[in-house]
Amino acid sequence: MKSNAGLKWKLGLFIISALILLVLGLFYVGKQKNLFDTSFRLSAVFKNVSGLKTGNNVRFGGINIGTVERIELITDTSVMVGMTIKKAVQQFIHQNAIAGIGSEGLMGDRVVTIIPGTGEGAAVKEGAVLASLPPVETDQILAGLKTSADNAAIITDQLAEVAYKLNNGHGVLSRLLSDSGMGNNLNSTMANLKKGSAGLKDNMEAAKHNFLLRGYFKKKKRAEEKKKKAEAAEKVDG
């Protein structure tokens, strides 16, 4: 008798525990799917839902506000996505909001993201159809990342080749950096150019005072002064 009573007690405890877990599980699932919240419905039409499934989350401002209720094929180029949204956030979603399809991370589940519209507008109504954006495919993202990685590899190889040539004395730049004689020659050339410029300036000053060329330089100076006066007069008139 005692053995049967202990067995019944354990069986009853097991059943009660299972019922509690079941209720908690139903409550958790219902909360995630907005079964216990007052809700309203929105929809959007996409050309391609890109793997979106019923039950996936709907986000607004980075927060889960609802779930995908249904996905229906309307034509061969359009798919209707119906969403159940929490009633509390209806006031924040305006009629010019846009629906897009993203993913939770690079390889995560698909989600519908509602993007706020620009400016102010009236709140959406029950059953409203939002404008939509085409989804970004994961394959496109991976292809872009591969292209960037390939370009980075090419640039790295080219930089390594340039560094190797510089370190091993190939090219004019390497010779300039490593050959002190070539650097001295370059300094001498720059010094000669500087001296030549100074000499040219002295020759020009001497030519201005030459009797034969004095008239030419005076005439040129008067023309420049006349031009400056004309420009000043135009500025005053303007």
Buried b (16+ CB within 10 A) or exposed e, 135-159: beeeeeeeeeeeeeeeeeeeeeeee
Sole residue written with tokens 């354990």 = 10
pLDDT score recorded for residue 87 = 93
Q: Span 196-212, mean pLDDT? A: 58
Where residue 71 falls among pLDDT bands split at 50, 70, 90? very high
Q: Are 41 and 24 in contact (CB under 8 A)?
A: no
Angle in degrees, CA 80, 86, 88, rounded to 5: 135
CA-CA distance, 201 to 76, in Å (whole number)? 82
Where residue 215 falls among pLDDT bands split at 50, 70, 90? low
Token couple for 83: 């969403």
Where residue 135 falls among pLDDT bands split at 50, 70, 90? confident
Ramachandran area for residue 17 (φ above 0: left; ψ -120 to 50: alpha; else beta): alpha
Q: Are 113 and 146 in contact (CB under 8 A)?
A: no
Q: Which of 142, 109, 125 is nearest to 40 (CA)?
A: 125
Q: Span 15-35, mean pLDDT? A: 66
Q: Are 208 and 216 in contact (CB under 8 A)?
A: no
Q: Which of 155, 94, 174 is nearest to 128 (CA)?
A: 94
Q: What is the pLDDT of residues 77-134, one digit of tens each?
A: 899 999 999 999 999 999 999 999 988 866 678 999 999 877 777 889 999 999 988 8
Average pLDDT along the chain: 75
Q: Span 141-145, mean pLDDT? A: 61
Q: Which of 35, 96, 109 is nearest to 66 (CA)?
A: 35
Q: Are 60 and 19 in contact (CB under 8 A)?
A: no
Token couple for 235: 């500025």
Token couple for 3: 């053995």
Decide: residue 56, CB within 10 A, 0-12 exposed, 13-18 middle, 19+ buried.
buried
Q: Span 159-168, mean pLDDT? A: 68
